[in-house]
Structure 1
Amino acid sequence: MKFRLVNWSGEDCRCFDELAAVLPLERAEEGIPLRLEKAEKPGCYMQKAGAVIAYSARHQIWRELGLLCEKLETQDCFSCTEEPAYTELGVMLDCSRNGVLTTAAVKDITRYLALMGYSSIQLYTEDTYKIEGQPYFGYQRGAYSREEFREMDDYASLYGIELIPCIQTLAHLECMLRWKEYDKIRDIDNILLADEEATYDFIREMFRQMAGNLKSRRINIGMDEAHMLGLGAHLDRHGFENRMDIMLRHYRRVIEIAQSFGYRPMMWSDMFFRLATHGEYYTEEELAIDPGVGETLSDDVTLIYWDYYTLEEKKYHKMFASHKKITDRIAFAGGAWKWEGPCPNSWYSRAVALPAHKSCRENGISQVMITAWGDNGDECPLYAVLPAFAQWAELCYADCCADSHMERRFRTCTGASYQAFLHLGDAAVMPDNPPPGRCGVNPVRYLLYQDLLGGLFDAHVEEAQRDYLEDCARLMDEYKEAAPDKWKYLFETQGSIDRLLAGKCMLGVEIRNAYREGKREALLACIGRIRTLQALLETVISDVQEQWSRENKIFGLDILQQQLGGLKQRMLFACERLEGYAQGRYDTLEELEEEPLPYYGRETEGKAVVSPSWNRIVSAGNH
C-alpha cells in the first residue's frame, strides 16, 4: 500500500520505513494521504480525504498503522477506535540466564512489540551490565556496555517505547557471587549481605551505572525469591533476627539510594508475602498483612504481583486483595512460558492469560508486564513466545483473543501464522496431557537429556509419546515450508528436536527389555538405532547454534553445547557398552540392572511430568 505522509516528522518517517519490512506499505507522492492526529483514544480512519492515525501516546501509532493496513485490505471507508485496558503494557526479556540478547535482536523485537502496541521493555540484567571499576561483575557473561544500552534506548524511544532497567539488589546474583571478589557482601547462596555498608556502596554503583545507561527514571529493583535471607553470614554476625525486619531495613536502604538518583522503583512483591507465611506466596485465602509493611513502602514504589501459573480467576482476585492491604500501587506480571526447556509451553501461556486479564480489569490494574524468563540455560528462543505477547496486546486493546482475531492480528504484526507459532509448543504437551496441559509439565527437556542406559525418566515414557512426537516433527516440516523466510529457522530447529525425541523416547526402555530378555541380537540392532540418533543429534546441535546466533551474544552458548555434547558422548559410550556385552566382553551392564523408578513417585508413573534442571536429568550422581 502506498501512503503520502502528510505531517510526519523525520523520526516518524524512519519508523514507517523500518516497519515496511513487516507491513505491506511504502511511501509515495501518489499514495493515500496519511496524517497523525492526537486524540483521547487510539484509532485509525479512512475517509475520502485520506487516512488518519489517532493516538494518545506515541507508542500507539504503530499498532494503529498496522490496523490501518489490515482494514484497507477489505474496506475502502472505515472508522476504528480502541480503548486500552491498561495505561502501560510492557514485556520483560530475560538477559541473565545464559542468553544475552544482541542489540540487533532487541531492536528487531522492538519493532514487533511496537506493532502490537507495547509501551515498555525491561531487560532483566542480574550481572549482565558493566559497572565501571568492577571487572568481575558480568565477566564473560556478555554484559552490556553503556554504548549498547544507549543504542537500544535511543531505538526504543523512536517508537515511543520506554526501555526500563531491571536489576537485582538482593538475590539471584549467583553468577556475581561466585567470585571471591564479592565474599564480603555475600550472605548465603545468591543473596547479598543486608546491613553491611559495603553492600550498599556496591548497590549505589549499580544505580549510578544504570542512571548513565538509560533515560528512564523508572527501575525494577528485583528483591524476589531471597528464600535464605539472613541465614548465612548475616546470622553469623548478628544472630537470628526476624527476617521481615531484615528485609524492610534492606528495602529502605535500597530505596533511599534509588531515589538519590531520581528513580521511581518497582519491585517483585513475593518476599513480603513469603516472610509472613513461612515461604508461601500464592495462598488460597487473603492474607493478614502487618500494616507496618505498607507504612514502610515509599509513595513512589510499585509492587509487582507475578503469577504465571493460575488458571482460576478467583485466585487472582484474592491475591490482588492481599496486595491492596499493603499498597494501591500494584502492577501485574504474567508469563510467556519459555523457561521449561527447548520448546515453549505455548498452550499454557495462552490458557493462563485470559483469567489473569479479567482479574486485572476487575481489580483496576493499569500496569501489566509479560515476562519471558529463560531459567536453566535459556534453551528456548525468544521469538517462539511471540503468540503470548500478541495475545496480551489484543486483550489490552480489543479485549479479545478469539482464534480468528489472533490469526489476523498476528499475521499483521509478524507476517506469520498465529496457529503455526502456537504449535511450536506441541512437544510440551503429550497424549496424557493435552493442551493446555498440567502446570509446568514440559517433557522435552528430560526426553532430550536423559541417558540412554540409565534414563531417570524411563518410567514416564510410552509408545504413544513416540508416535505423537513423530507427528509433531511432520507438522513442523509443514509449517516451515509455509513460513516466511524470517521464521523458518524456528520450525526447522523444533522439527529436528522433535525427530530426535521421537527416536530416543522409547529406546532406553527397549534396550533394557532386550538386555533382561537376553536378546543380544536385539541389542546389536539398538546400536544401529543409536547411530541414527547421533546423526539427528548433529543436526540438532547445528540448528541450536544457528538459532542462538540469531538472538544472543556468544556467551552462554557454551552451556548448551556442553549439554548436547555430553549427550553425544554418552551415545558413543552406550554403543561401546552394548557392543561389548553382545560380544561377551562384559558379563553384565550394571546400569541396565536397575529398575526404572518414577521420578516423582509411583502415582506419576506413565505420565509426562515436570522437567527438572539438566544436572538432575542426566544422572542420579553428584554434580
Structure 2
Amino acid sequence: MSDSIKFRRFGVMLDCSRNAVMNLPTLKKWIDLTADMGYNTLLLYTEDTYEVDNQPYFGHLRGRYSQKELKEIDDYAFQKGMEVIPCIQTLAHLNAIFRWPQYQKIRDCDDILMAGDETVYALIEDMFSTLKKCFRSRIVNIGMDEAHMLGRGQYQTKNGLRDRSEILVDHLAKVAEIAARQGLEVTMWGDMFFRLASGGDYYVNEVHVSDELKAKIPSNANLIYWDYYSSDKNRYDTQIRLHSAIKEDIWFAGGLWSWTGFAPHNVYSIECTTAALTSCLENNVQNVFLTMWGDNGAECSKFSCLPSLYYSAEYAKGNTDPDAIKKGFEEKYGIPFDSFMLLDLLGTPNEDKVEPFNPDKYIMFSDCFMGIFDSTVRDGDAASYAACAQKLAALQDEPTWGYLFRTMKTLCDVLAIKMDLGVKTRKAYLSGDKKALAALVEDYGKLAEKIDLFYDAFRSQWEKENKPHGFDVQDVRLGGLTRRVLHCQDRLQQYIDGALDRIEELEEPVLDSKGNGPAEATGPVSYNEWKSTVSANVI
C-alpha cells in the first residue's frame, strides 16, 4: 500500500460560517487527525467569522476567530506540515453582515455585496491585509459563487440595468487587483464563470469558451470546479475538460456530506468522492480538496465523516481495495469501519445510495399537526429508527467517539416515536377514535422527554467541538419543538375531554411535500430548510 498522497495539495475545507465555529482545541485535533491520514492542506471557510481590521461589526457575536487565534491555527498546522488556506467571500454569501446597519448601504440584494462600490473594495482591502498577517499561505479562496441576483437590487437602482457578466468580470478584476497588491494569489468557485461560458447552466456537457472570456480571468486567479453530486466518473472527466478549457490548472472540490442535518452521509460521500478522485488522478488535477459544509445550522459533527475522510485519503494514495481500507481504519482507530458507518443511520429511511435523504432533519422539526412531511412516511419507518437506536447504543461508551454515537442514538429514540406520530394522530382523529387518541397523548409526553435527552447529548457534542456562538439557534429550534409537542398534547387532551370540538389542522388534507398534490407514503426526500419545515406560516 502507498503512503504518499498523489496530489500537490490534498485537503479538507471546514465550514465555520453556518453557526458552528470549531473551537481551537478541536481544530488542533482535526489538524492532527487529517495530517496523520496524509492530508496536507486545511481550508478554513469563514464568510464573516474572522476578525477583520477596521471592521468591528464584521462577524460580531458570531464566534469569529480573532487574529491571534488565526495565527495560532496557522502556526500549529505549519508544525504538522500543513498549509492553511483561508476561504472567504468577496461577493455573495455574506447575509450575516447585513444584520448591521453600516453594511446595508453596500448591499446589492439578498446576500450580495454592491459591486463597483468603493466602500466594498475598502472592506475587501481590509480582508486581504488581515489574512496576509495571519497566514503563511499566499493563496486566498475569494468565493464569488452563486451570486445569481447580482446587479438586480440596489446596484440596478443606482447604475441602471447592466449585463451581469460585465458586472462580475469588472468586480473580479478589482478584487484580483487588490489581492495582487497584497502579494496574494486567489482561487474562486468556477460556477459563475462557467455559467457565463455556457449561457447560464452548470454541469452542461459542452460549452464554447471564447478567447475574449478567457482574457477576462485575471492572471492571479484560478478556478475551482466543484461537484458533490455524482458517482459517475465520466461526468467528472467531462467537467474537468470543460473547466480546464476556461482556465488551465484548475482546482477540484468534492464533498463529504455533512450538511443535510444531524447525520452524515458517508456512503454517498464515498461513492461520489472515489469517482471524482479517480478522474482527478487520470486528468492530472493537482489541487484537490473535499468540502464539509454546514448548511442551515451545522448540526452534523465533522468527525462523524471519519470513514469517508479516511477512505478518501487512502484512495488519494492509490489504495483502492475496500477491504484493506476497512482493515486499516480499524487498526488505526480501534473501531470497525462498518460500526462507525452506523452514524449514517444505516437501516433507516436515511439509507440510500442515490440521494442523501435526511428525514433525521425534516421529520425532527416537522409539525405533528401540520403534517408537511407526513406524505413521506411509510409503514415500518418508525420501527427502523428504534432498531437503529439499539445498534448505536452498543457504541455510545466507546472511549474516543462514543459521544457521536450517543447523540445519534438519542436522535433515533426521538424519531422512533415522532416519525409516524402525526400520521397516527390524523388517522385516529379523522376516524373519531378517541381511545386511540388517548393513547397517543401519552406518546406526545414521551416524545417531549426523548427530545430533552437528545438535546442534552447534542448540546454536549456541540460544546465539545465548537464555540458557544450559534447554539442559540439550536436552543430556539429544539426548545420550540418541545414547546410545540406539549402544546399539541394539550390540545389533544382538550379534544378528548370535550373542551375543544375540533382540531382544525388535522382536518387539512395531507399533500405531497414536493408539491404534487395528494399523496401517501412516497418515501424519504432531501430537504434541509428549517424555517419551511417547521411551519407553513411566516417565520
Per the TM superposition, whether the score is higher than 0.5 is yes
* Residue matched to 1:444: 360
Residues 180, 220 of structure 2: 8 Å contact kept: no
2:320 pairs with 386, 390, 400, which one? 400
* Residue matched to 2:496: 582
* Residue matched to 1:65: none
Q: 1:212 deviation in Å?
A: 1.2
Please provide the CA RMSD for this pair: 1.6
5+ residue gaps, structure 2, are none
Letter paired with 2:151: G
Residues 441, 609 of structure 1: 8 Å contact kept: yes
Q: 1:205 deviation in Å?
A: 0.4
- Residue 435 of structure 1 pairs with residue 352 of structure 2: yes
Q: 1:184 deviation in Å?
A: 2.1
* Residue matched to 1:288: 208
> Relative to 1, partners in 2 of residues 1:294 and 1:413: Cα closer, same or farther, differing over 3 Å?
farther
Letter paired with 2:429: Y
Question: Which aligned pairs between 1:350-429 and structure 2 lie closer than 5 A?
Answer: 350-402=270-322, 404-426=323-345
* Residue matched to 1:52: none
* Residue matched to 1:23: none
**SS of residue paired to 1:376:** helix
- Residue 559 of structure 1 pairs with residue 473 of structure 2: yes
1:217 pairs with 138, 142, 149, which one? 138
Question: Which aligned pairs between 1:378-527 and structure 2 lie closer than 5 A?
Answer: 378-402=298-322, 404-426=323-345, 430=348, 434-436=351-353, 438-481=354-397, 483=398, 485-527=399-441
Question: Which aligned pairs between 1:306-325 and structure 2 lie closer than 5 A?
Answer: 306-325=226-245
1:596 pairs with 499, 502, 510, which one? 510
**SS of residue paired to 1:480:** coil
Letter paired with 1:335: G
Question: Which aligned pairs between 1:100-179 and structure 2 lie closer than 5 A?
Answer: 100-179=21-100
Letter paired with 2:231: L
Between the aligned partners of 1:407 and 1:311, the Cα distance in structure 2 is: 20
Deviations 1:106-134, CA, capped at 9 Å, x for gaps:
10111110110011101100000112322
What count of residue pairs does the alignment treat as equivalent? 537
Q: 1:322 deviation in Å?
A: 1.1
Between the aligned partners of 2:134 and 2:258, the Cα distance in structure 1 is: 28
Residues 515, 523 of structure 1: 8 Å contact kept: yes
**SS of residue paired to 1:479:** coil
Between the aligned partners of 1:521 and 1:83, the Cα distance in structure 2 is: 66
**Greater Cα offset, 368-377 or 210-219:** 210-219
Give the TM-score taking structure 1 as reference length.
Answer: 0.84
Between the aligned partners of 2:318 and 2:241, the Cα distance in structure 1 is: 26
Q: 1:162 deviation in Å?
A: 0.7
Q: 1:469 deviation in Å?
A: 1.1
Deviations 1:196-237, CA, capped at 9 Å, x for gaps:
111111110010111111121111111111111111111111
* Residue matched to 2:154: 233
Residues 455, 618 of structure 1: 8 Å contact kept: no
Q: 1:148 deviation in Å?
A: 0.5
Residues 5, 38 of structure 2: 8 Å contact kept: no
Between the aligned partners of 2:319 and 2:191, the Cα distance in structure 1 is: 28
> Relative to 1, partners in 2 of residues 1:288 and 1:224: Cα closer, same or farther, differing over 3 Å?
same
Q: 1:435 deviation in Å?
A: 3.5
**Greater Cα offset, 333-342 or 316-325:** 316-325
Deviations 1:395-439, CA, capped at 9 Å, x for gaps:
11133151x222233234444332222220126x745x7432x32
Letter paired with 1:115: D
5+ residue gaps, structure 1, are 1-79
Give the TM-score taking structure 2 as reference length.
Answer: 0.96
**SS of residue paired to 1:191:** coil
**SS of residue paired to 2:380:** helix
Larger RCO (CA under 8 A, 6+ residues apart): 2
* Residue matched to 1:95: 16
- Residue 618 of structure 1 pairs with residue 534 of structure 2: yes
Q: Identity of counterpart residues, as a percentage? A: 38
Residues 96, 125 of structure 1: 8 Å contact kept: yes
Q: 1:301 deviation in Å?
A: 2.2
Residues 473, 499 of structure 1: 8 Å contact kept: yes
> Relative to 1, partners in 2 of residues 1:413 and 1:157: Cα closer, same or farther, differing over 3 Å?
farther
* Residue matched to 1:180: 101
Between the aligned partners of 2:140 and 2:195, the Cα distance in structure 1 is: 23
> Relative to 1, partners in 2 of residues 1:498 and 1:81: Cα closer, same or farther, differing over 3 Å?
closer
Between the aligned partners of 1:239 and 1:417, the Cα distance in structure 2 is: 61
More strand by share: 1
Between the aligned partners of 2:87 and 2:493, the Cα distance in structure 1 is: 53
Residues 391, 401 of structure 1: 8 Å contact kept: no
Residues 334, 356 of structure 1: 8 Å contact kept: yes
**SS of residue paired to 1:262:** coil
Q: 1:587 deviation in Å?
A: 1.0
> Relative to 1, partners in 2 of residues 1:200 and 1:413: Cα closer, same or farther, differing over 3 Å?
farther
1:571 pairs with 485, 491, 496, which one? 485
Letter paired with 1:619: S
Deviations 1:500-529, CA, capped at 9 Å, x for gaps:
101111111111111111111211111111
Larger radius of gyration: 1
Residues 351, 357 of structure 2: 8 Å contact kept: no
> Relative to 1, partners in 2 of residues 1:502 and 1:94: Cα closer, same or farther, differing over 3 Å?
same
Residues 249, 286 of structure 2: 8 Å contact kept: no
Residues 430, 608 of structure 1: 8 Å contact kept: no
Between the aligned partners of 1:409 and 1:237, the Cα distance in structure 2 is: 60
**SS of residue paired to 2:11:** strand
